[in-house]
Every structure is written in C-alpha cells, then in structure tokens.
Amino acid sequence: MIDARLQPLQRAAMRPPAELLAGWGVRADTISIAGFVIGLMAVPALAMGWWFLALLLIATNRIMDGLDGAVARIQGPTDRGAFLDIALDFVFYALVPVGFALHDPVANGLPAAVLIAAFVGTGSSFLAFASIAGKRGQSAEAFPQKGIYYLGGLTEGFETIVLFLAMCLFPACFALFAWIFAAACTVTTVLRWHQGWTAFR
C-alpha cells in the first residue's frame, strides 16, 4: 500500500552499499540468490522456535532484496534479474508461514495454509496483470525502476515484511496475524481482478 512512497528512501539508503558491491564486481543476481538462501535458513529457525534468529534472517533477506535492485540499477538491469527477483520473493513469502506451521502444526497449520493460499491469490493476480501489461508495452508510473509491471495493492512488500517481523516478535499471535493478513490479501486479490478486468477490456 505504501511501497511507492518508500521507494525514494529505499533507493537513497541502498545506493552507498550498492556502489561498494558493484565496485567489487558483485553481480545483482548473486545477491538475489544469496539473499534467498539466507531467507531459507529462517524456515528451520522458525520451526525450532528461534524467533530472534529467524527475525534477523528474514530482515537480512529483505535488505538483500532491496540491495540487488540497487546494484542492478548501477550495472544495468537485466530480464533475468527481474525474473529471478520476483520468482524468489514469492517462494520466500510462502515459506515463512511454513516455518510457523512446522513449529506448532496444531495451532498454526490451518492459519498458515490459509495465508499461503492468500499469497497465491495476490501473487497470481500480480503476475497475470504484469504479463498482459508487458505484452501491451505498459509500465507502472509509480514504480518506474521495476523490471516488470508492478501492480500495487492493500498488501504489498512493506506490509508483508512488517507482518513477518511482528510474527517473530509475537509468535503466540501468529494465527491471529495470519487470519487478518489473509483477509487483507483477499481484498487485494479481488481489487486486482477488478483492475485487470477493467484495464484489459
């Protein structure tokens, strides 16, 4: 919901480390993959109930997700990089609830499954819109730096990050957070369906 407003701040914060990494010859794709691997490590940490470690791993994953884009803008963005970024992001988003479900299947299993289903709704509507918009040569004015058409919504990247960090800080509230966010994702999905139905008429 507020990703577009945060973009200038994010770009300014990421520019210095991105210039340093680019100067060392580190590729944006390497950062994307390394960030994803670090994010994967959050799943066993969550399953074991190591909440602070999981929080650090999730936060590091999200920082590297912003850093790879900053490096790409210096070195020159590529279609492969744009593909890799969004593909790995969506898998990471789905795996975090799995970690909580593994920790307590009885209490967290159903809320985690519903949240993942809600992520499928937001992700599929996002990518479906982006693919048709790309075919038409359209670009998102609010996100000119993105490699694909970036369709906003009630639940975007920033809100999802806040959700995951809140779940790590208050793991006993996972089910409540999951149900609330799943409902918000459902609203986002329906709004995107309507937007696509109208835009591609």
What percent of the chain is predicted at pLDDT more than 70?
A: 88
Contact status, residue 18 vs residue 63, Cβ threshold 8 Å:
no
pLDDT score of 5 more than 80:
no
Q: What is the pLDDT of residue 167?
A: 97
The rounded radius of gyration (Å) of the Cα atoms in the chain is 17
pLDDT score of 148 more than 50:
yes
What percent of the chain is predicted at pLDDT more than 90?
A: 57
Which pLDDT band, with edges at 50, 70 and 90, does 164 fall under?
Answer: very high
Contact status, residue 42 vs residue 58, Cβ threshold 8 Å:
yes
- CB crowding 118-152: b at 16 or more within 10 Å, else e: bbebbbebbbebbeebeeeeeebeebeebbbbbbb
- What predicted TM-score, i.e. pTM, was given to this entire model? 0.87
- Tell me 141's DSSP state: T
- Tell me 73's DSSP state: H
Helices (H) and strands (E) in the chain, counts: 8, 0
Q: What is the pLDDT of residue 174?
A: 98
Q: What is the pLDDT of residue 16?
A: 85
For the domain bounded by 3-199, which CATH number is listed?
1.20.120.1760
Q: What is the pLDDT of residue 143?
A: 47
3-class SS at 157?
helix
